[in-house]
Amino acid sequence: MVLDTSTIDTIDKAKSAQYGGAILGDADKAIFDNAGLKKSDGSVDVEKLQSTAKLLDNVKWAQKSLTKDSSLLKSLEDAKTANKDNYKFVNKVDSQVDGAISRLKGLKESTEKFENKSKAEWIKEQTDKEAELLNYQNSLKAKEY
């Protein structure tokens, strides 16, 4: 279930929400401690808080995704291109946005590659890769003796 960011209006609510269907770890919770999420008077900038929460939710869903998701990829790429504060806050922790973009692009390329090949070609390619791996493992075992 996608996060309803309209309910997030405090730092505590942002930290306790579920992102990508899971509770955040401490490193991700620290994203919401960023001073950039507060106005000059010290109050929370709810718009920035909600956009950061939305981006983090998209990242977490992308990290779990097993399929190419063009709309999710586009939203992450748009955030990166805009280079707004929410991108900077979320990407600061292990380059999460960039990693999620790379992951979705990889899934998209793999899916497109698979769709463009016949099943027999794909099976042959996988068999060749497995044979190559077995040959490598055998050569390592031979060196042990």
pLDDT of res. 114: 67
pLDDT of res. 28: 93
Low-confidence ranges of the chain (pLDDT < 70): 1, 67-69, 114-117, 143-145
pLDDT of res. 126: 84
Phi, psi of 92 (to 5 degrees): -60, -30
Domain range enclosing 107: 5-116
For residue 128, being part of any structural domain is answered with no
Positive or negative, the CA dihedral 99, 102, 104, 110 is negative
CA distances from 142 to 118, 124, 135, 139 (A): 36, 27, 10, 5
For residue 94, being part of any structural domain is answered with yes
For residue 65, being part of any structural domain is answered with yes
For residue 138, being part of any structural domain is answered with no
- Total-model pTM: 0.65
For residue 82, being part of any structural domain is answered with yes
For residue 139, being part of any structural domain is answered with no
Domain count, the chain: 1
For residue 135, being part of any structural domain is answered with no
pLDDT of res. 5: 94
For residue 35, being part of any structural domain is answered with yes
